A and B are shown apart, each in its own frame.
Chain A
Amino acid sequence: MGENEKAPKKKLTKEEAIALAKARKAAKAAEAAKKEAEEPKVDLDSLPLVKAIKKEHAEAIEDIKFANNELTITVKKDYLLPLCRWLKSDPETAFDYLSEVIGVHYPKNEEKPLQVVYHLFSTQKNHRLRLKVNLAEDEEVESVYPVWRSANWYEREAYDMVGIKFANHPDLRRILLPEDWEGHPLRKEYPLQGPEGYREKWLRRHCRNTNAL
């Protein structure tokens, strides 16, 4: 297969190749521009949710995005809990259901590599909202357990998998992994099959029958 592809390519002169590449690039750009033109830019301020939040908690908002039909609001860390309280109690937003809490690790953002994502849903108003909080390595975010009880396990999982610490969580322990596990597997630097030699170490510590090694 490889040989077949290479053969015609070699015949092109350098100029031709450059021209071809340029043409391809232009076509791609045109396509992207067309796509953008087709998709009408959503006026963020016209969305009722954004309006309501901007009115009450404008100081909490860091960034607003609307993509794939989903509204994403990045929130400043210290304003998260009051904002969530308000989102749940206000009859206009009425977010009575917390779908999940996710920890994501972005090692490329050196200042704030950790991100916590909250998916909210309102069974009465039938709308969804995604909240995001960016954290530095040693920062803690306030737990939303007082607002939604379901945050209990979700936050434990985020702690377990990514190592995000939640302040004032009633019982922040590992949930899926054993309590004496080392490291947080869903961090990007954690290798797929565990760190070198960890398996042997683990077995030595926990198995009486070390023949398995």
Chain B
Amino acid sequence: MDEIRGLVVTEEGLVEQDLMRDTLTKEMWVNMGPQHPSTHGVLRVVLALEGERIVDTEIYIGYLHRGFEKFAESKTYPQFLPITDRLDYISAHAMNYGYVLAVEKLMGIEVPLRAKYIRTLMAELTRISSHLLWLATHALDIGAMTVFLYCFREREMILDLFEMVCGARLTTSYFRIGGVANDLPDGFIEKCREFCNIFPQKAKDYDDLILKNRIWLARTINVANISGEEGLNLGLSGPSIRGSGVKWDIRVSEPYGVYDKVEWEMAVEDGCDVYARYLVRLKEMRESCKICQQCLDFLEKDDSGEFRAKVPKVIKPPEGEAYACVEAPKGELGFYIVSDGSTKPYRLKIRAPSFANLMSLPKMVEGALVADVIAAIGSIDVVLGEVDR
């Protein structure tokens, strides 16, 4: 600490001396979480502060560990499907998708085209709803309350659509090995079309509120920077890495479903900061809406009614191993299944995007202020159900 000279009253009267003589400065440790409103779950971040600057970050996870991987070894393949909903509970369809793809790859099942379109439609609706929830809570953390209300209004419409198709709003368990559980009900296509038509207009509300808002810009631009190379090295994936200028989207690089048949654009920004990640997700929502429209076009014309491939009654994949990954709303979601030829998986490993994304948090907040940690956690969009499994 520099010397600051000043007058001090002592027993000998006024004396000029170093004011900082007796002041000790050292690192202070601050606990953020496990119960902190901005962590969206039970995440504990320990920050080492020097003044107001962060010098070190340590993340403690595992508070929500439910042992899904061990659990999977005692359940049959179809039985584990509803459990995957509980991984990332706000985008259940995407979690189902990764799991059924892995089992289908193991068994070599070809899914009918209609089922593929339905799956893609559902996965994209999930992406919109997940991003809406992210935008709502992220804005709320940073201090914009009203966006929350608008986002939930649209999210509610999507949940209604889910309820119409499969009867549940959150833990949907709609996908099945070889297809989906049931065909789309009557009136669904019109209702979904209505949503896709009004969504872009409604999305303008969020832009009006925060896209150019000066407080929002000040809180997000040049905050929590991470370069693309560093991000890849640290395991960052999904919209978070696309905010750093890396052109990598599993829907493009290893297309599954019907992503190679529909037209859309990958959202990439090279700002590397919280604002760039925000822009990526905003664009992604609109692109998802486009994909939904095209899926609906197909489903409207198609009357094959084949929503499920013929699969054996007892699902018994041959011996072997398979890894299938999908672009979940948070990033690369992978399922690695080792089968020993019985009805239960021998080993099932879930590659959760949030788990990997959380690793780059210490790098993002190095030298930042405490308030920026909240923006950083929000910008990588962690869901603790998925981190801890």
A residues adjacent to B (C-beta < 8 A): 67-70, 72, 96-100, 102, 104-105, 117, 119, 123, 126, 128, 130, 148-150, 152-154, 161, 174-178, 185-186, 190, 192
Contacts and interface: CB of A to CB of B under 8 A. Distances in A.
Contacts of B235: 97-98, 148-150, 153-154
B100 to A, nearest CB: 15
Contact of A119 (B232, B234, B351): B351
B325 A99 contact: yes
A100 B331 CA distance: 13
B205 interface: no
A129 to B, nearest CB: 11
A100 B74 CA distance: 23
A192 B74 contact: yes
Contact of A104 (B71, B74, B347): B347
Contacts of A176: 61-62, 65, 388-389
A70 B324 CA distance: 10
Contact of A70 (B71, B323, B332, B347): B323
B133 interface: no
A100 B338 CA distance: 15
B336 interface: yes
B342 to A, nearest CB: 13
Interface string B348-365: 010100011011000000
A185 B336 contact: no
Given A99-B332, A123-B232, A149-B234, A70 B70 contact: no
A172 to B, nearest CB: 15
CB-based closest 6 A-B pairs = A150-B235, A176-B62, A123-B248, A100-B351, A176-B65, A102-B349
A158 B238 CA distance: 23
B61 A175 contact: yes
A177 B62 contact: yes
B200 interface: no
A99 to B, nearest CB: 6
Interface of B (DSSP majority class) = mixed
Nearest to A39: B108
B304 interface: no
A117 B337 CA distance: 12
Contact of B320 (A67, A153, A175): A67
27 contacts: A67-B320, A68-B106, A68-B321, A97-B235, A99-B325, A99-B332, A99-B351, A100-B349, A102-B347, A105-B347, A117-B336, A119-B336, A119-B351, A123-B248, A126-B253, A148-B233, A148-B235, A150-B234, A150-B356, A152-B359, A153-B356, A175-B61, A176-B388, A185-B67, A185-B70, A192-B70, A192-B73
Interface string B318-339: 0011110100000010101010
B69 interface: yes
Interface string B150-174: 0000000000000000000000000
Contacts of A190: 70
Interface string B48-71: 000000000000011001010111
Contact of A130 (B74, B254, B323): B323
B69 A186 contact: yes
A150 B248 contact: no
Contacts of A105: 347
A154 B73 CA distance: 20
A105 B73 CA distance: 12
